[in-house]
Structures are given as C-alpha cells and as structure tokens.
Amino acid sequence: MPLIEEVPVMPYLASFGGVNDVVLSLISVAPTANLRLTAKLPRDVKYKALDLTLVNTNLSVLASLGFGDTVSAKSSSKMFCSYMDLCVSTTIDNDDKDSIVARAKFGLGFRLAITAFDVDVKYSSSFASIAAAAKLKMGYTNYQVVAIGGGLKALEVARPLISNLTGDFTIETVETIGSVQSALTELYIKRNDGMTPELLSVDLNLEKMAEVYSGGKTRNYRDLLQGQAYALQRAQRQVSSEEAVKQISTRPDWSGVSKEVVQDFYARILDLQPGQKPRSEQVKLMLFGGT
C-alpha cells in the first residue's frame, strides 16, 4: 500500500460534524467520515527511540502544529522551517476501513520547531548546521518547543529544555537536545510506567485518498491527477463531459486519461449533465492556482 508517511498532526481527536474520533488537523484534507482514527493503543505499549531527524516543512504546516510564534513570522523565500520530534514512539495500524489514515504514531516527549531566516540553504539541512550558522551569526534562528504526552512526570527530565523554551537555536540547544533524548530513553523505554502518549503523526493511504478525490473511480493517484488535469483544461474550453470523453481517443498523448475520472469531475465537482457545457469561470480557482 503506497503511503504518505509521517504527516505531522496536532494530537487532537474529537467529534466533529457528527463523526467521532476525527483527526482534527486533517479536516481540510478529506470529508470527516474519511478521517477517523479508531484504533486504540494497547495497554502495554512498547516504545522505541526516534531517530532525531530534522524534517523540512513550510510555515503553514508549523502553524498548524500549534507553533504560535511562527504564525507571526513573516515568511520570505530565505526562511527555512523545520521540526523535529524528540520522542519515544509507537506506531499502530488504523482499523477504520473508510479512513485515509492508515497508521498512527503515538509518542511521549517533545516536538521542536526551528525556523531560520537569511541562512544559507546549505546550513538548513541538519540541526547541527543550523546551530553552526547561528554561532557564526549568519542569519537569525529561532526555536520553540511543544510537549507531547507524558504529563507531569516528564517534567523533571525535561527541565533543561523547558527553561530554554524559546530563543536562538545554538550549539547549547543541540547539547540540551542530546541530554534530554538520553533521559527520555531511560525514562520511557526502560521503565515504562503507564504514561499517556499523544498522537504525533499519521501515515496517509494514497490509494484511499485517490478514491476519495475521484468519487470512488480510481485508487491510482496518478490516474486521478491526469484525469482531473485533462478535465480542467477541457472544461476551461467549455467542452461538455460527453465531448471531452470522446476526445480522449483523438490524440495519442491523451490515451492514458481515465474516462471515469473525467466523468466524475464534470458530474460531481462541476455538477453538470453529460451534454451540458461548463462556464470557464467554474474552473478558474482550480485551474490557475500557482501559475
């Protein structure tokens, strides 16, 4: 099963729109009925240590994870956003068959967001090099910490990190991260004493997403992309669904376009009958984003 791995989310599941156990961070990604995470963590969880990898991301993703400071930061093309999970974790399979959420990772520890402004791109790839850039006064760096799960018992081990909760991302920060990591590992892996882990990230099922976005016509994401790109262009030229489907066979380049995806696009997204001609403005926002 093809997956989009480790989409970071806020740890909130709630009832929304009459549906229980919805992963709230995903509500603009799919209908709530396809966003349920129903699998529960087993009572006796075995954690494993996470690799400390810095994940490059963008500003809106950091904001969606609850890093308030970055919301106010004015992004520029010279700004690099990244985050790192400093956690022990465990992954479970989701058991809701309609959900685009295939697996969920739960963790205990901390999530760090790091932003760097005006830092050379070659320094943006690892947290040690960002710290080095800060040391050399090459641009501005900033970090913020959010605690994930663990409750109060985690506090003592994390005090060095908490008292440096926000500020420049420096070599000292890197050292603190190292010591908190070993303390966390000691605390949670060797002596698991019933703390509550929180949802960290989810793996999304690409086939299920294609199915949702195509009204059930395909489980192949590439077919979805191609069929909808074709349909958008045809609709922009005021060609009806019926005609657009016939025209697929007129050019060899178009032969891979899925008839069903095109028909679904016209019927479900444009709300048109097979013979009805679309108006160009119906597809404007969908067609011209990012041009």
Distance CA 134, CA 132 (A): 5
Residue number, 50 or 101, with CB nearest to another protein: 101
Tell me whether residue 43 or residue 76 sits nearer to another protein (CB atom). 76
According to DSSP, the β-strands at 55-57 and 79-93 are: antiparallel
Nearer to another protein, 64 or 185 (CB): 64
Cβ proximity to another protein, 92 vs 162, nearer residue: 162
Q: How far is the CB of 189 from another protein (least distance, A)?
A: 19
Instruction: Count CA atoms closer than 13 A to 186's CA, side-chain side.
Output: 10
How many Cβ atoms from other residues are within 10 Å of residue 201's Cβ?
A: 23
* Smallest distance, another protein to C-beta of residue 83, A: 11
Asked if 166 and 4 count as a contact pair (C-beta separation under 8 A), the reply is no
Shortest CB 129 distance to another protein, Å:
14
Closest CB 178 distance from another protein, rounded Å: 19
268 vs 279, beta carbon nearer another protein: 268
E strands, the chain, are 3-8, 13-16, 19-23, 48-49, 55-57, 79-93, 101-117, 140-148, 166-167, 198-205
Residue among 146, 142, 165, 145 nearest 75 (CA): 142
The least CB distance from residue 191 to another protein, in Å, is 18
Q: Please identify which residue in the block is written with the tokens 């501005």.
A: 140
Between 89 and 124, name the residue whose CB sits nearer to another protein. 124
Task: Name the minimum Å distance from CB 44 to another protein.
Answer: 21
- Encoded amino acid at 265, one letter: F
Cβ neighbours of residue 91 closer than 8 Å, sequence gap 6 or more = 103, 104, 105, 106
Give the separation between CA 255 and CA 47, rounded to whole angstroms: 49
